Each structure stands twice: as structure tokens, then as C-alpha cells.
Amino acid sequence: MYILAFDPGGTTGWRAYDEPEFHGGFLGPDPHHIELWGLLESLDPGVVVCESFQHTMGKSTILISVEYIGIIKLWCKMRDRPLHMLTSSRGKGFWSDEKLKYIDAYTVNKHTRDATRHLLHYLSFDLHDNTYIEMLRR
């Protein structure tokens, strides 16, 4: 199953999984609405995972995230693909930088790394695929 995960924002990180391989990158920081649509079209994932937008009072947030989430939602609706939205804390809670390094899934770009966390959370806790959690036990 080809899965594509996003951490949308001023810079949108993405990470794709086609067992057993990962690949990814990022779009931005310039506006990248068309590039995001093009990425979805070219990779044509079977499942999409995306960090949801949560407005927090008193915290500086990038509202452009909502626009990119809208593009992802529209693409999934038009292509009849499942979309799994994860809160930032849910998606990033378990997979620390140390764990990503241990399983060789760490990336230098923060946004791509966060997309990796969302992807691994979905695989591990929503699909109950213990492959990567088992790697932590070695």
C-alpha cells in the first residue's frame, strides 16, 4: 500500500512509504499550492495522512497550513482516497528524533521529519504494523 504523509505549512514536509522503502522531501517555503497538487498527482497514493490544523490562542501559527490542507482534502475527495488527519501531538508524540535515528528514518529537514512521524504513527498505531516498533527493541 502506497502511503503519503504530510506536515503542511509554510514549508510542507512529505514522506512516502511503499513497503519497504521510504522517500520524501519538502515544498516551500515559497507558496506551493500547485506543486502540492502536482506531487499528489504524480505519486498517486492509495492513502494520505496529514497533520491537522489547530489554532492555539497566543501562539504564532501559519494560517497557510489551512490552504494546503484544503488542497490535500480536495485531492483525496476527487480521487476517492482515504485521508487520515492526525493532531500534531498525536502524530509526533511517540516517534522522537532518537527513535527515528535508531530505525534509520531520521531526515535533516524538520518538516520532512515531522511527516515521517505522522507516517510511522499511522503505520504503527492505526494499521497495527509493528515492524518499526520491533526495530526499536533490537
Domains, the chain, with CATH or none: 2-136 (3.30.420.10)
DSSP state of 81: -
Cα–Cα distance measured from residue 5 to residue 15, given in angstroms and rounded to the nearest whole number: 5
Cα dist. 28→31, 99, 109 in Å? 6, 27, 12
Name the phi and psi angles at 84, rounded to 5. Answer: -115, 115
How confident is residue 57, by pLDDT bands cut at 50, 70 and 90? low
pLDDT of 60 above 70: no
The model's pLDDT over 90-130, given as tens digits with 9 standing for 90+, comes to 877 899 999 999 999 999 999 999 999 999 999 999 999 99
Cis peptide before 45 (omega within 30 of 0): no
| Edge-to-edge strands, sheet with 21-27 | 21-27, 12-18, 2-7, 47-51, 83-86
**Largest distance between two CA atoms of the chain:** 42
pLDDT of 8 above 60: yes
The model's pLDDT over 70-83, given as tens digits with 9 standing for 90+, comes to 999 999 999 999 99
